[in-house]
């Protein structure tokens, strides 16, 4: 049978679909390249910097974020700045896919100008050459003193001349506690970790747990280490020193191991209904957590409204005034943006102006990273869920007490994964929290070496 | 509802077999066993949906504090109102996008696959088997593995973050080509095609008036498969799309779900949104499953 015209057409259609499948599967064998490292990128590749000049014409910036309701805030900017229009797009949070997309888009050369990046992910983007340096922007350098000191060191990544993002929010930690239960049982509110351990025993006797140890969300533990003055990473030049098992870190691990061994803390997986229920039913009495935790409790434990209060986090030394931090993010300018000046201008407005910070707080409970922002009128009000206590005063104080030197590493996803796996094992009885940190140090060194990122002393 | 049908079908099987030499006691035994197994599976599949319906009917507070498998207060209408009005009804936009991607994409994919499969089955030409084998190879490549290369390709032609970025990859269905070829080979007889040609019908006309009707069960099957595949395709939109107004509903709900830390109030919207998002799938299945079953059966009988 000879090939008739329609058959030929069908064959063409078929061929083209096959070709699409075939050629895409060729490239399909190397999907890791975009997110893996290219050794060249790790060296301090010269940024095409120096160009932080106004474009001299109308500019449209793209901005990707995941803050619910940020569109409204951006609209405020757009209304006042016809020459710098910002197009905002929201999607899943960073680790939910947006970071991966940033890397893909940087690879393909079509990344947005501005992106939301959490502090613990910034070093990764930096090492992979995904960020524009805002150091040449005079406005940015001049804004340094507006920010709480430690948030600034989160975005300079150890440099005096470079800035890789504008701090947006912060998560200073304090202690949420069940005021009613502590009073009813005549347990003094702990101010040091030693008192906290004593209180844990009394709470246990009263039929509860003093808190829940977060086995799979390592960020809380990192916050404890942060408060104790430890750091998990440090970098000099390009090379990284990994100290997950620093003395401070081990002290914190041993402390919690002690509570776990005596069954004084529960180990419900965090961010689950079970976990919410532990707080809602009065099974867990305290939570040393970040400022945004205020809403987690309020929504997760609605039956306990009015019974909570906030106190400064327990200290390692009596009379100490150190705080840890859990979370927080910055607005970074992604590699390839042609409008550094305008992008920086917008990011500064977004993260420092009263109108923006107030709107962000109202829309998504964003807690500012600026000194003035901590005194916004919205953050001075009493909160009903906490018996009318003006809880943000406690966090404002904590924000100023956060130890400034904590540094994140370039492979935090791997670190969180490895350490939380070992933590889970430790909780089910194999190994300890401190051995988990020792193992984590080894596996992190291996991970950096696998990506050809220089490790100090190697 | 679809499980009801399945239950009826499979319950019949053991009793039919029982008409053989096996005794009545054995018949009751096997029937009971079958019933228990079916019952367990029905429960297994329906409990999550039940949970979703219950959760969708509760307000923010009772979702966490009341029995997850029983109603507490009936807030469903209010939740629906909140869902549809949140952020100027972005959810409705997502639902419309999903229906466009899956409905139109599925229809185009079915047409293309049907034509390809028909051509491969009914025309002899050089390289026919090679093409078919290549298509079969396409069946084996998971869509997830293709997403990133597709992103880079679409970046080259500057089509990322557009409707086409999700639509174009969706209209390719290697499995559909495979299925329609097998089906066309067995259900469209050469004599019929000869007759049509003798009557003066062009090849195109023959395909659209005669063959396509004979192939209908296979086409419906391909459409349903493709519809569900596109509807559930999460990875491609995740990589391709930045603009919220282009999101399909699955990806949109996922975004909300990852924002719970920032805004715990989103939880009830995610739940009611998930409930609403399965309704179109249920409708598609209920209205088309008749054809699907007869389609699969037709292949086996032949």
DSSP for B273-289, please give it. HHHHHHHHHHHHHHHHH
Residues 6 or more apart whose CB falls under 8 angstroms from that of B109 comprise B170, B171, B172, B173, B176, B222, B223, B226, B230
- Residue-level pLDDT at A24: 38
Q: Which of B119, B262, B264 sits opposite A7 (nearest CB)?
A: B119
3-state secondary structure A4-44: CHHHHHHHHHHHHHHHHHHHHHHHCCCHHHHCCCCHHHHCC
- Residue-level pLDDT at A215: 87
B152 CA: distance to closest CA in chain A (Å): 6
The verdict on B112 touching A (C-beta cutoff 8 Å) is yes
**Plot region of A201 (φ>0 → left; ψ -120 to 50 → alpha; else → beta):** alpha
- Residue-level pLDDT at B142: 87
Nearest in space to A25 (alpha carbons), one of B162, B167, B130, B139: B139
Q: Phi and psi of A432, rounded to 5°?
A: -130, 170
What pLDDT, in 10s, does the model give residues B90-140?
Answer: 999 999 999 999 999 999 999 999 999 999 999 999 999 999 999 999 989
User: Do A24 and B254 lie within an 8 Å CB cutoff?
Assistant: no
**Integer distance in angstroms from the first to the last C-alpha of chain B?**
29
User: Do A101 and B242 lie within an 8 Å CB cutoff?
Assistant: yes
Q: Which of A4, A91, A105 sits opposite B255 (nearest CB)?
A: A91
User: Do B148 and A300 lie within an 8 Å CB cutoff?
Assistant: no
- Residue-level pLDDT at B74: 87
CA A442 to CA A98: how far, in whole Å?
28
Interface of B with A in 205-264 (CB under 8 A): 207, 238-239, 241-244, 247, 251, 254-256, 258-259, 261-264
Q: Which domains does chain A have, with CATH numbers?
A: 51-170+327-379 (3.40.190.10), 173-324+405-450 (3.40.190.10)
A458 CA: distance to closest CA in chain B (Å): 35
Give Cα separations from B28 to A5, A208, B4, B23 (angstroms).
61, 53, 21, 9
- Can you say whether the dihedral through the CA atoms of B231, B267, A121, A129 is positive or negative? positive
What pLDDT, in 10s, does the model give residues B194-212?
Answer: 999 999 999 999 999 989 9
User: Do B150 and A68 lie within an 8 Å CB cutoff?
Assistant: no
CA B255 to CA B86: how far, in whole Å?
14
Q: Phi and psi of A90, rounded to 5°?
A: -115, 145
- Residue-level pLDDT at A443: 96
- Residue-level pLDDT at B69: 87
| Predicted complex ipTM | 0.82
Q: Which two tokens stand for residue A186?
A: 């005549």
> Are the beta carbons of A458 and A449 closer than 8 angstroms?
yes
What's the length of chain A?
Answer: 458
Q: Which of A21, A302, A364 sits opposite B138 (nearest CB)?
A: A21
Give Cα separations from A376 to A148, A150, A241, A451, B262 (angstroms).
14, 19, 39, 44, 19
Weakly modelled stretches of chain B, pLDDT under 50: 1-18, 297, 299-302
The verdict on A34 touching B (C-beta cutoff 8 Å) is yes
For residue B256, give the chain A residue with the closest CA: A92
User: Do A34 and B131 lie within an 8 Å CB cutoff?
Assistant: no
Q: Which of A17, A28, A91 sits opposite B141 (nearest CB)?
A: A28
Please give the radius of gyration of chain A, using alpha carbons only, rounded to the nearest integer.
25
Q: Which domains does chain B have, with CATH numbers?
A: 2-56 (no CATH), 83-301 (1.10.3720.10)
Give Cα separations from B164 to A110, A268, B150, B158, B167 (angstroms).
17, 44, 12, 11, 5
- Residue-level pLDDT at B285: 85
- What is the pTM (predicted TM-score) of this model? 0.85
> Beta partners for A177?
A286, A309
Interface of B with A in 38-97 (CB under 8 A): 60-61, 64-65, 68, 87
DSSP for B136-149, please give it. HHHHHS-HHHHHHH
User: Do A112 and B266 lie within an 8 Å CB cutoff?
Assistant: no
CA A293 to CA B264: how far, in whole Å?
10
pLDDT per 10-residue tile (average), chain A, 458 residues: 45 43 37 39 42 91 94 96 96 93 95 97 95 95 96 92 96 97 96 97 96 92 96 89 95 96 94 90 96 92 94 96 96 96 97 96 94 95 95 96 93 95 93 95 96 86
The verdict on A67 touching B (C-beta cutoff 8 Å) is yes
- Residue-level pLDDT at A106: 96
**Integer distance in angstroms from the first to the last C-alpha of chain A?**
71
The verdict on B279 touching A (C-beta cutoff 8 Å) is no
The verdict on A299 touching B (C-beta cutoff 8 Å) is yes
CA A24 to CA A22: how far, in whole Å?
5
Name the packing angle between helices B90-99 and B249-258 (round to 10°): 140
């Amino acid at each position: 049978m000879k090939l008739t015209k329609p058959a030929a057409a069908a064959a063409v259609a078929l061929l083209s679909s096959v070709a699409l499948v075939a050629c895409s599967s060729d490239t399909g064998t190397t999907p890791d390249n975009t997110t893996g490292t290219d050794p060249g990128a790790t060296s301090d590749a010269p940024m095409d910097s120096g160009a932080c000049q106004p474009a001299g014409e109308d500019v449209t910036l793209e901005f990707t974020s995941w803050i619910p309701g940020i569109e409204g805030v951006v609209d405020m900017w757009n209304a006042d700045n016809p020459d710098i229009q910002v197009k905002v797009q929201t999607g899943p949070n960073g680790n939910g896919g947006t970071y991966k997309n940033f890397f893909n888009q940087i690879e393909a050369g079509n990344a947005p100008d501005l992106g939301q990046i959490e502090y613990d992910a910034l070093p990764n983007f930096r090492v992979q050459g995904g960020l524009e340096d805002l150091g040449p922007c005079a406005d940015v350098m001049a804004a340094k003193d507006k920010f709480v000191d430690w948030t600034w060191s989160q975005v300079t990544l150890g440099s005096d001349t470079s800035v890789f993002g504008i701090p947006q929010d912060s998560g200073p930690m304090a202690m949420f506690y069940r005021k009613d239960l502590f009073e009813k049982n005549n347990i003094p509110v702990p101010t040091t970790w030693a008192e906290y351990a004593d209180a844990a025993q009394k709470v246990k006797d009263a039929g509860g747990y003093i808190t829940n140890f977060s086995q799979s969300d390592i960020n809380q533990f990192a916050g404890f280490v942060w408060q104790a003055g430890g750091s998990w990473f440090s970098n000099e030049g390009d090379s990284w020193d990994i100290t997950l098992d620093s003395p401070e870190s081990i002290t914190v691990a041993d402390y919690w191991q002690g509570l776990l061994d005596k069954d004084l803390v529960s180990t419900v997986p965090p961010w689950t209904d079970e976990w919410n229920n532990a707080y809602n039913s009065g099974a867990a009495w305290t939570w040393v957590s970040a400022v945004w935790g205020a809403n987690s409790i309020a929504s997760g434990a609605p039956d306990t409204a009015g019974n909570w209060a906030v106190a400064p986090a327990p200290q390692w030394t009596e009379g100490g005034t150190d705080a840890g931090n859990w979370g927080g993010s910055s607005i970074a300018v992604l590699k390839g943006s042609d409008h550094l000046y305008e992008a920086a201008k917008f990011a500064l407005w977004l993260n420092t102006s009263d109108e923006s910070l107030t709107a962000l707080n109202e829309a998504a409970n964003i807690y500012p990273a600026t000194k003035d922002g901590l005194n916004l009128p919205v953050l001075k009000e009493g909160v009903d869920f906490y018996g009318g206590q003006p809880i943000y005063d406690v966090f404002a104080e904590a924000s100023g007490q956060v130890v400034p030197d904590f540094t994140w590493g370039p492979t935090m996803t791997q670190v969180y994964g490895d350490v939380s796996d070992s933590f889970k094992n430790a909780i089910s009885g194999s190994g300890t929290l401190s051995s988990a940190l020792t193992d984590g140090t080894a596996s992190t060194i291996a991970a950096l070496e696998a990506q050809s990122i220089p490790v100090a002393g190697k | 509802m679809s499980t009801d049908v399945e239950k009826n079908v499979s319950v019949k099987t053991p009793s039919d077999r029982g008409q053989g030499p096996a005794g009545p006691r054995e018949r009751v035994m096997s029937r009971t066993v079958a019933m228990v197994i079916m019952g367990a599976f029905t429960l297994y599949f329906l409990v999550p949906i039940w949970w979703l319906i219950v959760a969708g009917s509760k307000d923010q507070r009772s979702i966490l504090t009341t029995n997850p498998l029983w109603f507490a207060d009936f807030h469903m209408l209010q939740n629906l109102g909140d869902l549809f009005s949140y952020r100027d009804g972005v959810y409705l936009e997502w639902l419309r996008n999903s229906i466009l991607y899956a409905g139109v994409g599925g229809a185009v994919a079915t047409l293309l696959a049907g034509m390809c499969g028909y051509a491969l089955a009914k025309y002899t030409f050089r390289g026919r088997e090679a093409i078919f084998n290549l298509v079969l190879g396409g069946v084996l490549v998971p869509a997830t593995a293709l997403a990133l290369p597709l992103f880079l390709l679409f970046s080259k032609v500057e089509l990322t973050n557009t409707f086409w970025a999700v639509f174009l990859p969706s209209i390719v269905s290697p499995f559909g080509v495979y299925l329609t070829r097998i089906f066309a080979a067995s259900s469209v007889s050469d004599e019929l095609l000869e007759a049509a040609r003798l009557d003066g019908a062009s090849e195109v006309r023959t395909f659209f008036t005669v063959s396509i009707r004979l192939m209908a069960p296979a086409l419906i099957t391909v459409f349903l498969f493709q519809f569900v595949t596109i509807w559930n395709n999460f990875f491609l939109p995740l990589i391709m799309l930045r603009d919220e107004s282009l999101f399909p509903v699955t990806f949109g709900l996922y975004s909300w779900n990852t924002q719970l830390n920032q805004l715990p109030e989103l939880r009830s919207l995610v739940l009611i949104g998930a409930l609403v998002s399965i309704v179109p799938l249920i409708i598609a299945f209920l209205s088309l499953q008749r054809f699907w079953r007869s389609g699969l059966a037709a292949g086996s009988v032949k």
